[in-house]
Amino acid sequence: MFAKLYNSEKYGQILVKNDTDSEDGSPEVRFYAQPEGFGICSLALGFKDSDEGFDSADEAFNNVDQEKAEEIISKMFEEGPLNLVAKPSE
């Protein structure tokens, strides 16, 4: 499995991919979400470009469930730089 898709009430669809960085090929676990009022946003957890790095990325990906995906996305929207953007009215 290289991708997981969750339907979150708060963040809409969350896509989690076990992937590689497009620039240097290092392993990453990337999260995509598109909450109401935003375009598609992503956040990546990067790992070293080594056998151990790929193993760590696989382990991280395998440990992601919907609760963990929502927790990580929440940091991007509630605690990260996007909290400076005006949020749509609820």
Domains of the chain: which residue ranges?
A: 3-83
**Which residue in this structure is represented by tokens 């620039």?**
23
Residue 66 pLDDT grade (very low, low, confident, very high; cuts 50, 70, 90):
very high
- What is the pLDDT at residue 90? 46
Nearest of 36, 56, 59, 58 to residue 48 by alpha carbon: 56
Residue 30 near residue 61 (C-beta atoms within 8 A): no
**Who has greater pLDDT, 79 or 85?**
79
Tens of pLDDT, residues 23-41: 999 999 999 998 777 789 8
- The vertex-43 CA angle with 79 and 18, nearest 5°, equals 140
What pLDDT band is residue 75 in, cutting at 50, 70 and 90?
confident
Q: Round the average pLDDT of the chain to a whole number and report it.
A: 87
pTM: 0.81
Amino acid at 22: S
38: how many CB neighbours lie within 10 A of its CB?
A: 15
Which tokens sit at 39?
């375009």
| C-alpha neighbours within 13 Å on the C-beta side of residue 56 | 12
